[in-house]
A = this chain, B = another copy of it.
Amino acid sequence: MKDFIFHNPTKIVFGKGKISTLGEEVSKTSKKVLLVYGRGSIKRNGVYDQVVDSLKSYNVEFVELPDVKPNPVLSKVHEGINLARKEQVDGIIAIGGGSTIDSSKTIAAGFYYDGDIWDAFRGKYKAEESLPIYVVLTISATGSEMNGGAVITNEETKQKYSFWSVKSYPRVSVLDPTVQFSLPPIQTANGAADAISHVLELYFDGTQNVQILDELSEGIVRTVMDSTNILMKNPTDYDARANLVWSATLALNGINGTGRSGGDWSSHAIEHSLSALYDIAHGSGLAIVMPAWMKYVHREDVKKFARFANRVFGIDESDREKAATMGIERLKDWYKSIGLPVSLSDVNISAEDIDKIVENAAARAPFGKLKKLQRSDVKEILKFCL
């Protein structure tokens, strides 16, 4: 087990009807906040009204930044920073999933930075100040509601990059599973694939002798799968939804990463190029890329891939190579079973497009922990995705 520091100060308020507690929490630090949200679903499902009612009862003023889109972009962040400064807000509330939370984190850090906050993503600025951030989660996927990370796409340069800061942990995140009852099944499925990918990026980073973390990882994957299977048939099953919501948060709140070597993150690096160039959903992109990456690298730690097959799918692991391969196929089959694409052709990307994706992804190569990937490796993995 590797050395680590674990410190996660986010307060989680979990359960039905808990959005009503938001106003009191926010009023502890803020008098006027920026509400950041997406393209209107929160107005249809009642979440917006619940937030506004709670803020009003604690006399918290607010201005609004709507229309944050999936694969959120830097220009929208700039708009948010300008608005936050003009209106002199002293806090930000993200109402949504990873896109709105990550946009909010970036606005909250950019508020205090004189340069272009993109500097934080390209490693030229360490975000050490931030407005207080609050979250009302409406889709479980990224885990951003309980960590200090954010991913943003610079649409001019077509780069989808991330930053992380100890100052960017939300103060409070409200997780009401019932607000996800109305999600289209494909969004639940995308979220599930994203959560599983976070576990596997950490799990398959080559670190040995971390039983407690492996146990936790395998337990999250099993729970995400079992809960998603139930939700595909009955999207309003409360306990299945609650298990999925909390599992997706635990998948990337830091605990699962303790004692490891930081995770591999190659699949994310490649997928980010895919979604930056083609605007496909991150979860769908991961369902395509991750099994291909697993197939390409599994011989680097075949024992662990066999263990995964055994613990998640009950496959006999005595023949490790066989078990590893079967486990990867079963994962792919499962993605298919919940309606996700598992090949580039499923999302209408053909062999001729591969060079363009390689070009974008390889700008940061080499990357990866289990196997350091060069440009040529990325190309081979993408060929496995066809």
In the assembly, how many copies of this chain are there? 2
A16 is an interface residue with CB less than 8 A from chain B: yes
**A223 contacts chain B at the CB level, 8 A cutoff:** yes
Does A183 make an interface contact (CB < 8 A)?
no
| Interface hits, A83-128 → B, CB 8 Å | none
- Residue on B with the closest CB to A215? B219
Which among A43-51, A52-60, A204-212, A318-326 touches the partner chain? A204-212
> Which residues of chain B are within 8 angstroms of A223 by Cβ–Cβ distance?
211-212, 215
Q: Which of B2, B6, B250, B259 contacts A212 (CB 8 A)?
A: B250
Q: Which of B2, B216, B243 contacts A1 (CB 8 A)?
A: B243
Q: A6-B11, A7-B11, A18-B3 are in contact. Are A258 and B246 (CB under 8 A)?
A: yes
A16 touches B3 (CB 8 A): yes
CB-CB under 8 A from A7, the residues of chain B are 9-12
Interface residues of A (CB under 8 A from B): 1-16, 18, 208-212, 215-216, 218-220, 222-223, 226-227, 238-239, 242-243, 246-247, 250, 255, 258-259
Given A1-B243, A255-B255, 18 other A-B residues pairs in contact with their CB atoms under 8 A: A1-B238, A1-B239, A1-B242, A4-B14, A5-B12, A6-B12, A7-B10, A7-B11, A7-B12, A210-B243, A211-B226, A211-B227, A211-B243, A212-B247, A215-B219, A215-B223, A216-B216, A216-B219
| Interchain Cβ contacts under 8 Å between A and B, 19 examples | A3-B16, A4-B15, A5-B12, A5-B13, A6-B11, A6-B14, A208-B239, A209-B243, A210-B239, A211-B222, A211-B226, A211-B243, A212-B246, A212-B247, A215-B216, A215-B222, A216-B219, A218-B219, A246-B259
